[in-house]
Chains A and B, each alone.
Chain A
Amino acid sequence: MALSTVLETPGAGFNFENATRNAALEALFEGGQTPKPLKTGTTIAGVVFKDGVVLGADTRATSSEVVADKMCEKIHFISPNMYCCGAGTAADTEKTTELLSSNLSIFSLNSGRNPRVVMAVNILQDMLYRYHGQIGANLLLGGVDCTGNHLYTVGPYGDVDKVPYLAMGSGDLAALGILEDGFKHNLELEEAKELVRSSIHAGIMSDLGSGNNIDVCVITKQGVDYIRPYQESEYKDDRKMNYKYRPGTTKVLTEKVVPLKLEVVQETVQKMETA
Protein backbone atom coordinates (compact mmCIF):
# COMPACT_ATOMS: atom_id res chain seq x y z
CA MET A 1 0.00 0.00 0.00
CA ALA A 2 1.69 3.16 -1.15
CA LEU A 3 1.68 5.95 1.35
CA SER A 4 1.14 9.07 -0.69
CA THR A 5 2.41 12.23 0.92
CA VAL A 6 1.50 15.58 -0.48
CA LEU A 7 4.97 16.72 0.50
CA GLU A 8 5.80 18.61 -2.66
CA THR A 9 9.03 17.15 -3.98
CA PRO A 10 10.60 20.33 -5.23
CA GLY A 11 11.55 20.70 -8.89
CA ALA A 12 15.13 20.05 -9.86
CA GLY A 13 17.69 22.83 -9.47
CA PHE A 14 17.31 26.24 -7.88
CA ASN A 15 14.27 28.46 -7.92
CA PHE A 16 15.43 31.94 -8.76
CA GLU A 17 12.08 33.43 -9.72
CA ASN A 18 12.87 36.60 -7.84
CA ALA A 19 16.14 37.17 -9.67
CA THR A 20 14.68 39.50 -12.33
CA ARG A 21 12.67 41.31 -9.70
CA ASN A 22 15.80 41.86 -7.60
CA ALA A 23 17.75 43.11 -10.60
CA ALA A 24 14.99 45.60 -11.42
CA LEU A 25 14.88 46.69 -7.79
CA GLU A 26 18.61 47.33 -7.76
CA ALA A 27 18.29 49.46 -10.90
CA LEU A 28 15.51 51.46 -9.23
CA PHE A 29 17.74 52.58 -6.41
CA GLU A 30 20.61 54.58 -7.92
CA GLY A 31 23.88 54.00 -6.17
CA GLY A 32 22.95 50.44 -5.32
CA GLN A 33 21.44 51.32 -1.93
CA THR A 34 18.93 48.51 -1.97
CA PRO A 35 16.93 48.10 1.22
CA LYS A 36 18.84 45.86 3.61
CA PRO A 37 17.24 42.58 4.66
CA LEU A 38 15.98 42.50 8.21
CA LYS A 39 18.53 40.58 10.27
CA THR A 40 17.87 39.21 13.68
CA GLY A 41 21.20 39.82 15.38
CA THR A 42 20.29 37.30 17.93
CA THR A 43 20.95 34.99 20.81
CA ILE A 44 19.21 31.64 20.72
CA ALA A 45 19.96 28.60 22.85
CA GLY A 46 18.68 25.10 23.44
CA VAL A 47 19.29 22.46 26.08
CA VAL A 48 18.20 18.83 26.27
CA PHE A 49 17.18 17.96 29.81
CA LYS A 50 15.78 14.90 31.58
CA ASP A 51 12.19 15.16 30.41
CA GLY A 52 12.51 17.08 27.16
CA VAL A 53 14.03 20.14 25.52
CA VAL A 54 14.20 23.78 26.60
CA LEU A 55 14.61 26.46 23.90
CA GLY A 56 15.34 30.11 24.60
CA ALA A 57 15.68 33.28 22.54
CA ASP A 58 15.93 37.04 22.87
CA THR A 59 13.28 39.19 21.15
CA ARG A 60 15.22 41.90 19.30
CA ALA A 61 15.10 42.19 15.51
CA THR A 62 17.55 44.70 14.00
CA SER A 63 17.80 46.41 10.62
CA SER A 64 21.46 47.48 10.64
CA GLU A 65 21.71 49.59 13.79
CA VAL A 66 18.01 50.25 14.32
CA VAL A 67 15.85 47.97 16.42
CA ALA A 68 13.07 47.07 14.02
CA ASP A 69 11.03 44.87 16.34
CA LYS A 70 11.30 44.79 20.13
CA MET A 71 9.07 41.79 20.60
CA CYS A 72 10.07 39.59 17.71
CA GLU A 73 9.15 35.91 17.89
CA LYS A 74 12.21 33.79 17.21
CA ILE A 75 10.94 30.46 18.50
CA HIS A 76 8.81 29.17 15.64
CA PHE A 77 6.13 26.53 15.81
CA ILE A 78 6.89 23.48 13.69
CA SER A 79 4.51 20.89 15.09
CA PRO A 80 2.85 20.28 18.47
CA ASN A 81 5.97 18.43 19.58
CA MET A 82 8.65 20.54 17.87
CA TYR A 83 9.78 24.14 17.94
CA CYS A 84 12.61 25.82 16.06
CA CYS A 85 14.74 28.83 17.03
CA GLY A 86 16.01 30.83 14.07
CA ALA A 87 19.00 33.16 13.70
CA GLY A 88 20.13 34.92 10.54
CA THR A 89 17.93 36.67 8.00
CA ALA A 90 14.50 37.09 9.60
CA ALA A 91 12.52 36.43 6.43
CA ASP A 92 14.49 33.29 5.65
CA THR A 93 14.07 31.75 9.11
CA GLU A 94 10.38 32.68 9.19
CA LYS A 95 9.50 31.26 5.80
CA THR A 96 11.69 28.19 6.04
CA THR A 97 10.11 27.17 9.34
CA GLU A 98 6.62 27.92 8.03
CA LEU A 99 7.25 25.76 4.98
CA LEU A 100 8.56 22.97 7.18
CA SER A 101 5.57 23.26 9.49
CA SER A 102 2.99 22.99 6.71
CA ASN A 103 4.78 20.09 5.04
CA LEU A 104 4.91 18.21 8.32
CA SER A 105 1.25 18.79 9.07
CA ILE A 106 0.32 17.45 5.62
CA PHE A 107 2.46 14.43 6.33
CA SER A 108 0.83 14.01 9.74
CA LEU A 109 -2.67 14.10 8.28
CA ASN A 110 -1.79 11.70 5.49
CA SER A 111 0.04 9.12 7.55
CA GLY A 112 -1.71 9.42 10.90
CA ARG A 113 1.65 9.71 12.62
CA ASN A 114 3.26 12.38 14.72
CA PRO A 115 6.28 13.75 12.87
CA ARG A 116 9.71 12.86 14.22
CA VAL A 117 12.40 15.43 14.85
CA VAL A 118 14.84 13.62 12.57
CA MET A 119 12.34 13.92 9.69
CA ALA A 120 12.06 17.68 10.16
CA VAL A 121 15.84 17.93 10.24
CA ASN A 122 16.20 15.95 7.03
CA ILE A 123 13.69 18.15 5.22
CA LEU A 124 15.50 21.30 6.40
CA GLN A 125 18.91 19.95 5.45
CA ASP A 126 17.65 18.93 2.03
CA MET A 127 16.22 22.36 1.30
CA LEU A 128 19.10 24.42 2.66
CA TYR A 129 21.73 22.31 0.88
CA ARG A 130 19.90 22.75 -2.42
CA TYR A 131 20.13 26.53 -2.03
CA HIS A 132 23.85 26.43 -1.21
CA GLY A 133 23.83 29.06 1.51
CA GLN A 134 21.59 31.57 -0.31
CA ILE A 135 18.99 31.08 2.42
CA GLY A 136 20.55 32.70 5.48
CA ALA A 137 18.97 30.55 8.14
CA ASN A 138 20.82 29.25 11.21
CA LEU A 139 18.30 27.02 12.91
CA LEU A 140 18.13 25.24 16.24
CA LEU A 141 15.42 22.57 16.10
CA GLY A 142 14.28 20.90 19.30
CA GLY A 143 11.51 18.44 19.96
CA VAL A 144 10.23 15.35 21.70
CA ASP A 145 8.99 12.30 19.86
CA CYS A 146 8.57 8.59 20.42
CA THR A 147 12.32 8.04 20.09
CA GLY A 148 13.29 10.57 22.75
CA ASN A 149 14.32 14.20 23.27
CA HIS A 150 16.36 15.73 20.48
CA LEU A 151 18.15 18.98 19.64
CA TYR A 152 19.63 19.57 16.20
CA THR A 153 21.37 22.50 14.59
CA VAL A 154 21.10 23.19 10.84
CA GLY A 155 23.34 25.73 9.13
CA PRO A 156 22.66 27.81 6.01
CA TYR A 157 24.80 25.54 3.84
CA GLY A 158 22.91 22.47 4.99
CA ASP A 159 25.19 20.96 7.60
CA VAL A 160 23.51 19.20 10.50
CA ASP A 161 24.79 18.44 13.99
CA LYS A 162 22.99 16.62 16.76
CA VAL A 163 23.87 18.23 20.06
CA PRO A 164 22.87 18.10 23.74
CA TYR A 165 23.11 21.90 24.02
CA LEU A 166 24.00 24.79 21.75
CA ALA A 167 23.69 28.53 21.27
CA MET A 168 23.55 30.37 17.94
CA GLY A 169 23.32 33.90 16.60
CA SER A 170 25.56 36.91 17.12
CA GLY A 171 25.39 36.51 20.89
CA ASP A 172 26.29 32.85 20.89
CA LEU A 173 29.82 33.16 22.22
CA ALA A 174 28.58 34.71 25.44
CA ALA A 175 25.68 32.30 25.74
CA LEU A 176 27.83 29.28 25.02
CA GLY A 177 30.17 30.25 27.82
CA ILE A 178 27.32 29.95 30.30
CA LEU A 179 26.11 26.71 28.74
CA GLU A 180 29.56 25.09 28.71
CA ASP A 181 29.95 25.93 32.37
CA GLY A 182 26.52 24.92 33.61
CA PHE A 183 25.42 22.03 31.41
CA LYS A 184 25.09 18.52 32.81
CA HIS A 185 23.24 15.56 31.39
CA ASN A 186 19.72 14.91 32.75
CA LEU A 187 19.10 18.33 34.26
CA GLU A 188 15.81 18.95 36.06
CA LEU A 189 13.22 21.25 34.48
CA GLU A 190 13.86 24.29 36.69
CA GLU A 191 17.64 23.95 36.36
CA ALA A 192 17.37 23.70 32.60
CA LYS A 193 15.10 26.75 32.35
CA GLU A 194 17.44 28.75 34.56
CA LEU A 195 20.46 27.67 32.51
CA VAL A 196 18.82 28.74 29.24
CA ARG A 197 17.58 31.99 30.74
CA SER A 198 21.01 32.94 32.06
CA SER A 199 22.69 32.03 28.77
CA ILE A 200 20.32 34.25 26.77
CA HIS A 201 20.81 36.95 29.36
CA ALA A 202 24.57 36.74 28.85
CA GLY A 203 24.01 37.07 25.11
CA ILE A 204 21.81 40.13 25.62
CA MET A 205 24.33 41.79 27.92
CA SER A 206 27.35 41.17 25.73
CA ASP A 207 25.92 41.58 22.22
CA LEU A 208 24.46 44.71 20.68
CA GLY A 209 22.32 42.75 18.27
CA SER A 210 20.46 40.94 21.06
CA GLY A 211 18.21 42.48 23.64
CA ASN A 212 14.79 43.20 25.03
CA ASN A 213 12.94 40.25 26.47
CA ILE A 214 13.71 36.55 26.86
CA ASP A 215 11.34 33.90 25.50
CA VAL A 216 11.53 30.34 26.79
CA CYS A 217 9.84 27.29 25.32
CA VAL A 218 9.72 23.99 27.22
CA ILE A 219 8.83 20.89 25.20
CA THR A 220 8.06 17.65 27.01
CA LYS A 221 6.11 14.48 26.35
CA GLN A 222 3.16 16.05 28.15
CA GLY A 223 3.09 19.11 25.93
CA VAL A 224 4.58 22.50 25.29
CA ASP A 225 4.95 25.46 27.64
CA TYR A 226 5.74 28.53 25.54
CA ILE A 227 6.51 31.31 28.00
CA ARG A 228 6.60 34.60 26.14
CA PRO A 229 8.09 36.64 27.69
CA TYR A 230 9.86 34.58 30.32
CA GLN A 231 11.79 37.56 31.52
CA GLU A 232 11.17 41.16 30.58
CA SER A 233 13.91 43.66 29.97
CA GLU A 234 14.69 46.02 32.87
CA TYR A 235 15.01 48.82 30.37
CA LYS A 236 11.44 49.03 29.18
CA ASP A 237 10.19 52.48 28.26
CA ASP A 238 6.78 53.54 29.42
CA ARG A 239 4.82 54.66 26.35
CA LYS A 240 1.27 55.80 26.73
CA MET A 241 0.26 54.45 23.27
CA ASN A 242 -2.73 56.73 23.53
CA TYR A 243 -2.88 59.73 21.28
CA LYS A 244 -6.30 61.18 22.06
CA TYR A 245 -6.24 64.91 22.66
CA ARG A 246 -8.97 66.73 24.54
CA PRO A 247 -11.14 69.08 22.50
CA GLY A 248 -9.67 72.55 22.68
CA THR A 249 -6.02 71.46 22.46
CA THR A 250 -5.84 72.98 19.00
CA LYS A 251 -7.09 76.59 19.01
CA VAL A 252 -9.90 77.40 16.54
CA LEU A 253 -9.10 80.71 14.83
CA THR A 254 -11.96 81.11 12.33
CA GLU A 255 -15.12 79.19 11.53
CA LYS A 256 -17.04 79.28 8.26
CA VAL A 257 -20.24 77.29 7.61
CA VAL A 258 -21.33 76.74 3.99
CA PRO A 259 -24.60 74.79 3.60
CA LEU A 260 -24.63 72.49 0.57
CA LYS A 261 -27.82 72.80 -1.50
CA LEU A 262 -28.76 69.25 -2.55
CA GLU A 263 -31.60 68.33 -4.90
CA VAL A 264 -33.18 64.88 -5.05
CA VAL A 265 -32.70 63.79 -8.69
CA GLN A 266 -33.68 60.13 -8.58
CA GLU A 267 -35.12 57.84 -5.97
CA THR A 268 -35.13 54.05 -6.26
CA VAL A 269 -36.48 51.59 -3.70
CA GLN A 270 -35.17 47.99 -3.72
CA LYS A 271 -36.99 45.43 -1.59
CA MET A 272 -34.77 43.10 0.44
CA GLU A 273 -35.78 39.49 0.95
CA THR A 274 -35.53 39.01 4.65
CA ALA A 275 -37.26 35.66 4.96
Chain B
Amino acid sequence: MAAAASMMPIFGHQISSKNDLVPDWSREEVSTGTTIMAVEYDGGVVIGADSRTTTGAYIANRVTDKLTRIHDRIYCCRSGSAADTQAIAEVVSYQLGFHSVELDEPPLVETAANLFRASCYRYREELMAGILVAGWDRRKGGQVYCVPIGGMLVRQPVAVGGSGSTYVYGFMDSNYKPGLNKDQCLELTASALSLAMERDGSSGGVIRLASISEDGVERRVILGDQLPRFSTH
Protein backbone atom coordinates (compact mmCIF):
# COMPACT_ATOMS: atom_id res chain seq x y z
CA MET B 1 0.00 0.00 0.00
CA ALA B 2 3.07 2.27 0.00
CA ALA B 3 2.32 3.18 -3.60
CA ALA B 4 -1.20 4.25 -2.74
CA ALA B 5 -0.05 6.29 0.26
CA SER B 6 2.39 8.32 -1.80
CA MET B 7 -0.35 9.31 -4.22
CA MET B 8 -2.66 10.73 -1.58
CA PRO B 9 -2.70 14.55 -1.54
CA ILE B 10 -0.60 15.91 1.34
CA PHE B 11 -3.38 18.06 2.73
CA GLY B 12 -5.67 15.04 2.88
CA HIS B 13 -4.73 14.32 6.47
CA GLN B 14 -5.68 10.78 7.34
CA ILE B 15 -6.63 9.51 10.78
CA SER B 16 -3.87 10.56 13.19
CA SER B 17 -1.38 7.76 13.58
CA LYS B 18 -0.25 9.15 16.95
CA ASN B 19 -3.63 8.42 18.42
CA ASP B 20 -3.49 5.30 20.56
CA LEU B 21 -7.23 4.98 20.35
CA VAL B 22 -6.99 4.18 16.66
CA PRO B 23 -5.72 0.64 16.14
CA ASP B 24 -3.30 -0.03 13.27
CA TRP B 25 -5.61 -2.18 11.30
CA SER B 26 -8.39 0.43 11.08
CA ARG B 27 -6.13 2.68 9.07
CA GLU B 28 -5.12 0.08 6.54
CA GLU B 29 -7.03 -0.50 3.40
CA VAL B 30 -9.07 -3.68 3.34
CA SER B 31 -7.37 -6.30 1.21
CA THR B 32 -8.48 -9.68 -0.02
CA GLY B 33 -5.04 -11.19 0.66
CA THR B 34 -6.18 -14.36 -0.88
CA THR B 35 -5.96 -17.58 -2.75
CA ILE B 36 -8.06 -17.92 -5.89
CA MET B 37 -8.02 -20.57 -8.57
CA ALA B 38 -9.74 -21.40 -11.81
CA VAL B 39 -9.53 -24.57 -13.97
CA GLU B 40 -10.96 -25.33 -17.40
CA TYR B 41 -12.48 -28.68 -18.22
CA ASP B 42 -14.28 -29.94 -21.28
CA GLY B 43 -17.70 -28.33 -21.00
CA GLY B 44 -17.05 -25.66 -18.39
CA VAL B 45 -14.86 -24.23 -15.66
CA VAL B 46 -14.37 -24.73 -11.96
CA ILE B 47 -13.51 -21.72 -9.81
CA GLY B 48 -12.59 -21.53 -6.16
CA ALA B 49 -11.51 -19.08 -3.49
CA ASP B 50 -10.87 -18.84 0.23
CA SER B 51 -13.05 -16.52 2.34
CA ARG B 52 -10.71 -14.26 4.29
CA THR B 53 -10.64 -10.45 4.00
CA THR B 54 -7.99 -8.69 6.05
CA THR B 55 -7.17 -5.15 7.17
CA GLY B 56 -3.56 -5.53 8.20
CA ALA B 57 -3.59 -8.33 10.75
CA TYR B 58 -7.31 -8.16 11.50
CA ILE B 59 -9.76 -10.38 9.65
CA ALA B 60 -12.52 -7.99 8.65
CA ASN B 61 -14.69 -10.71 7.14
CA ARG B 62 -14.07 -14.43 7.59
CA VAL B 63 -16.86 -15.57 5.28
CA THR B 64 -16.26 -13.37 2.23
CA ASP B 65 -17.58 -14.39 -1.14
CA LYS B 66 -14.83 -13.64 -3.62
CA LEU B 67 -16.56 -15.40 -6.52
CA THR B 68 -18.52 -12.56 -8.06
CA ARG B 69 -21.15 -12.96 -10.74
CA ILE B 70 -20.52 -10.84 -13.81
CA HIS B 71 -23.08 -12.49 -16.02
CA ASP B 72 -25.19 -15.67 -16.06
CA ARG B 73 -22.30 -17.87 -17.14
CA ILE B 74 -19.35 -15.62 -16.33
CA TYR B 75 -17.81 -15.20 -12.89
CA CYS B 76 -14.68 -13.51 -11.61
CA CYS B 77 -12.40 -14.34 -8.69
CA ARG B 78 -11.19 -11.23 -6.89
CA SER B 79 -7.85 -10.64 -5.17
CA GLY B 80 -6.12 -7.44 -4.08
CA SER B 81 -7.93 -4.43 -2.68
CA ALA B 82 -11.50 -5.26 -1.69
CA ALA B 83 -12.81 -1.81 -2.59
CA ASP B 84 -11.04 -1.68 -5.96
CA THR B 85 -12.12 -5.15 -7.07
CA GLN B 86 -15.72 -4.61 -5.97
CA ALA B 87 -15.81 -1.35 -7.91
CA ILE B 88 -14.26 -2.85 -11.06
CA ALA B 89 -16.55 -5.88 -10.94
CA GLU B 90 -19.61 -3.62 -10.73
CA VAL B 91 -18.44 -1.50 -13.65
CA VAL B 92 -17.66 -4.52 -15.83
CA SER B 93 -20.93 -6.17 -14.82
CA TYR B 94 -22.79 -3.11 -16.04
CA GLN B 95 -20.82 -2.79 -19.26
CA LEU B 96 -21.20 -6.48 -20.08
CA GLY B 97 -24.91 -6.48 -19.28
CA PHE B 98 -25.44 -3.51 -21.57
CA HIS B 99 -23.37 -5.13 -24.31
CA SER B 100 -25.33 -8.36 -23.98
CA VAL B 101 -28.66 -6.52 -24.29
CA GLU B 102 -27.41 -4.71 -27.39
CA LEU B 103 -26.35 -7.98 -29.03
CA ASP B 104 -29.38 -9.85 -27.73
CA GLU B 105 -27.05 -12.74 -27.05
CA PRO B 106 -25.14 -14.09 -24.06
CA PRO B 107 -21.73 -12.40 -23.90
CA LEU B 108 -18.40 -14.11 -24.53
CA VAL B 109 -15.98 -14.78 -21.67
CA GLU B 110 -13.25 -13.17 -23.79
CA THR B 111 -15.30 -9.96 -23.91
CA ALA B 112 -15.67 -9.91 -20.13
CA ALA B 113 -11.96 -10.52 -19.72
CA ASN B 114 -11.15 -7.67 -22.09
CA LEU B 115 -13.43 -5.31 -20.20
CA PHE B 116 -11.58 -6.18 -16.99
CA ARG B 117 -8.27 -5.70 -18.73
CA ALA B 118 -9.33 -2.32 -20.13
CA SER B 119 -10.14 -0.95 -16.66
CA CYS B 120 -7.19 -2.60 -14.90
CA TYR B 121 -4.66 -1.40 -17.48
CA ARG B 122 -5.93 2.14 -17.89
CA TYR B 123 -6.02 2.78 -14.15
CA ARG B 124 -3.07 0.56 -13.30
CA GLU B 125 -1.40 3.24 -11.14
CA GLU B 126 -4.47 3.75 -8.96
CA LEU B 127 -5.76 0.20 -8.69
CA MET B 128 -4.58 -2.90 -6.91
CA ALA B 129 -6.54 -5.75 -8.41
CA GLY B 130 -5.64 -9.29 -9.49
CA ILE B 131 -8.61 -10.96 -11.16
CA LEU B 132 -9.36 -14.34 -12.70
CA VAL B 133 -12.22 -14.25 -15.21
CA ALA B 134 -13.82 -17.62 -15.88
CA GLY B 135 -16.97 -18.83 -17.54
CA TRP B 136 -18.65 -20.71 -20.32
CA ASP B 137 -19.87 -19.52 -23.68
CA ARG B 138 -21.11 -21.24 -26.82
CA ARG B 139 -18.16 -20.31 -28.99
CA LYS B 140 -15.20 -21.67 -27.05
CA GLY B 141 -16.76 -23.54 -24.11
CA GLY B 142 -15.08 -23.22 -20.73
CA GLN B 143 -12.37 -20.54 -20.55
CA VAL B 144 -10.13 -19.05 -17.87
CA TYR B 145 -8.48 -15.66 -18.35
CA CYS B 146 -5.93 -14.18 -15.99
CA VAL B 147 -5.86 -10.38 -15.43
CA PRO B 148 -3.14 -9.79 -12.83
CA ILE B 149 -2.00 -6.48 -11.27
CA GLY B 150 -0.83 -4.22 -14.08
CA GLY B 151 -3.51 -5.23 -16.52
CA MET B 152 -2.09 -8.12 -18.54
CA LEU B 153 -4.53 -10.49 -20.21
CA VAL B 154 -3.72 -14.09 -20.93
CA ARG B 155 -5.81 -17.21 -21.33
CA GLN B 156 -4.64 -20.24 -19.38
CA PRO B 157 -6.15 -23.70 -18.86
CA VAL B 158 -5.50 -23.40 -15.14
CA ALA B 159 -4.68 -20.27 -13.15
CA VAL B 160 -4.08 -19.35 -9.51
CA GLY B 161 -3.89 -15.89 -7.97
CA GLY B 162 -3.56 -13.96 -4.74
CA SER B 163 -0.99 -14.02 -1.98
CA GLY B 164 -1.50 -17.72 -1.28
CA SER B 165 -0.98 -18.79 -4.86
CA THR B 166 2.81 -18.79 -4.49
CA TYR B 167 2.56 -21.80 -2.18
CA VAL B 168 0.66 -23.97 -4.63
CA TYR B 169 2.39 -23.41 -7.97
CA GLY B 170 4.31 -26.64 -7.47
CA PHE B 171 1.21 -28.60 -6.51
CA MET B 172 -0.66 -27.24 -9.49
CA ASP B 173 2.11 -27.89 -11.99
CA SER B 174 2.51 -31.48 -10.87
CA ASN B 175 -1.14 -32.40 -10.45
CA TYR B 176 -2.89 -30.69 -13.34
CA LYS B 177 -3.21 -32.61 -16.58
CA PRO B 178 -5.38 -31.67 -19.55
CA GLY B 179 -8.51 -33.78 -19.89
CA LEU B 180 -9.70 -33.79 -16.28
CA ASN B 181 -13.44 -34.01 -15.69
CA LYS B 182 -15.53 -31.72 -13.51
CA ASP B 183 -15.23 -33.70 -10.29
CA GLN B 184 -11.49 -34.07 -10.65
CA CYS B 185 -11.21 -30.33 -11.20
CA LEU B 186 -13.29 -29.65 -8.08
CA GLU B 187 -11.06 -31.96 -6.06
CA LEU B 188 -7.89 -30.38 -7.47
CA THR B 189 -9.13 -26.87 -6.68
CA ALA B 190 -10.25 -27.79 -3.17
CA SER B 191 -6.91 -29.44 -2.42
CA ALA B 192 -4.84 -26.58 -3.80
CA LEU B 193 -6.83 -24.00 -1.87
CA SER B 194 -6.60 -26.03 1.30
CA LEU B 195 -2.81 -26.27 0.99
CA ALA B 196 -2.50 -22.53 0.33
CA MET B 197 -4.78 -21.65 3.25
CA GLU B 198 -2.64 -23.82 5.50
CA ARG B 199 0.53 -21.87 4.66
CA ASP B 200 -0.65 -18.34 3.87
CA GLY B 201 -1.68 -16.15 6.79
CA SER B 202 -3.83 -13.95 4.59
CA SER B 203 -5.92 -16.87 3.33
CA GLY B 204 -8.34 -18.93 5.36
CA GLY B 205 -11.88 -19.49 6.44
CA VAL B 206 -14.01 -21.66 4.17
CA ILE B 207 -13.51 -22.76 0.57
CA ARG B 208 -16.08 -21.47 -1.88
CA LEU B 209 -16.36 -23.42 -5.11
CA ALA B 210 -18.44 -22.96 -8.22
CA SER B 211 -18.68 -24.88 -11.45
CA ILE B 212 -19.96 -23.10 -14.55
CA SER B 213 -21.20 -24.91 -17.62
CA GLU B 214 -23.91 -24.68 -20.24
CA ASP B 215 -26.44 -25.94 -17.70
CA GLY B 216 -25.72 -23.14 -15.24
CA VAL B 217 -23.77 -22.40 -12.09
CA GLU B 218 -23.45 -24.82 -9.18
CA ARG B 219 -22.10 -23.32 -5.99
CA ARG B 220 -20.86 -25.10 -2.91
CA VAL B 221 -19.02 -24.39 0.31
CA ILE B 222 -16.48 -26.52 2.13
CA LEU B 223 -16.51 -25.58 5.81
CA GLY B 224 -13.41 -25.35 7.96
CA ASP B 225 -13.69 -28.77 9.55
CA GLN B 226 -14.27 -30.52 6.21
CA LEU B 227 -11.21 -29.11 4.45
CA PRO B 228 -8.99 -31.69 2.75
CA ARG B 229 -6.13 -32.43 5.14
CA PHE B 230 -2.58 -33.11 4.06
CA SER B 231 -0.57 -32.41 7.15
CA THR B 232 0.90 -35.39 8.93
CA HIS B 233 2.59 -33.37 11.67
**CB proximity of B53 to chain A, nearest CB, Å:** 7
Confirm or deny: A97 has a beta carbon within 8 angstroms of a beta carbon on chain B: no
Which residues of chain A have C-beta atoms less than 8 A from B29's C-beta?
133, 157
**CB proximity of B172 to chain A, nearest CB, Å:** 29
Is A170 a contact partner of B8 (Cβ separation < 8 A)?
no
Segment 2-26 of B: residues with Cβ below 8 Å from A: 8-9, 11-16, 19-23, 26
We find that the number of chain A residues with CB closer than 8 angstroms to chain B is 35
**CB proximity of B156 to chain A, nearest CB, Å:** 28
A65–B16 Cα gap in the complex (Å)? 13
A26–B13 Cα gap in the complex (Å)? 11
Confirm or deny: A89 has a beta carbon within 8 angstroms of a beta carbon on chain B: yes
Of B8, B21, B23, the most chain A CB neighbours within 10 A belong to B21
Segment 58-78 of B: residues with Cβ below 8 Å from A: 58, 60-61, 64
Is B83 a contact partner of A41 (Cβ separation < 8 A)?
no
We find that the number of chain B residues with CB closer than 8 angstroms to chain A is 27
Is A159 a contact partner of B22 (Cβ separation < 8 A)?
no
Confirm or deny: A56 has a beta carbon within 8 angstroms of a beta carbon on chain B: no
Confirm or deny: B95 has a beta carbon within 8 angstroms of a beta carbon on chain A: no
Indicate whether A39 sits within 8 Å of B15 (C-beta atoms), given known contacts A157-B83, A161-B60: yes
Confirm or deny: A22 has a beta carbon within 8 angstroms of a beta carbon on chain B: yes
Is B53 a contact partner of A136 (Cβ separation < 8 A)?
no
What is the 8 Å Cβ interface bit string for chain A, positions 142-186, against chain B (1 contact, 0 not)? 000000000000010111110100000010010000000000000
Confirm or deny: B100 has a beta carbon within 8 angstroms of a beta carbon on chain A: no
Partner of B21, one of A41, A157, A159: A41
Confirm or deny: A138 has a beta carbon within 8 angstroms of a beta carbon on chain B: yes
Which residues of chain B have C-beta atoms less than 8 A from A22's C-beta?
11, 13
What is the 8 Å Cβ interface bit string for chain A, positions 24-36, against chain B (1 contact, 0 not)? 0010000000101
Partner of A39, one of B12, B22, B23, B60: B22
Which residues of chain B have C-beta atoms less than 8 A from A114's C-beta?
none
A139–B64 Cα gap in the complex (Å)? 18
Confirm or deny: B163 has a beta carbon within 8 angstroms of a beta carbon on chain A: no
Confirm or deny: A245 has a beta carbon within 8 angstroms of a beta carbon on chain B: no
Is A170 a contact partner of B30 (Cβ separation < 8 A)?
no
**CB proximity of A57 to chain B, nearest CB, Å:** 16
- Extra contacts, 18 of them, besides A19-B9, A41-B21, A161-B53 (Cβ < 8 A), are A22-B13, A39-B21, A64-B19, A89-B15, A132-B8, A133-B29, A134-B12, A155-B30, A155-B83, A157-B29, A157-B83, A158-B86, A161-B60, A163-B61, A170-B21, A170-B26, A208-B20, A208-B21
Q: List 14 A-B contacts (CB under 8 A).
A: A34-B13, A39-B15, A39-B19, A39-B21, A62-B21, A64-B19, A125-B86, A132-B8, A133-B14, A157-B81, A158-B86, A159-B81, A161-B61, A208-B20
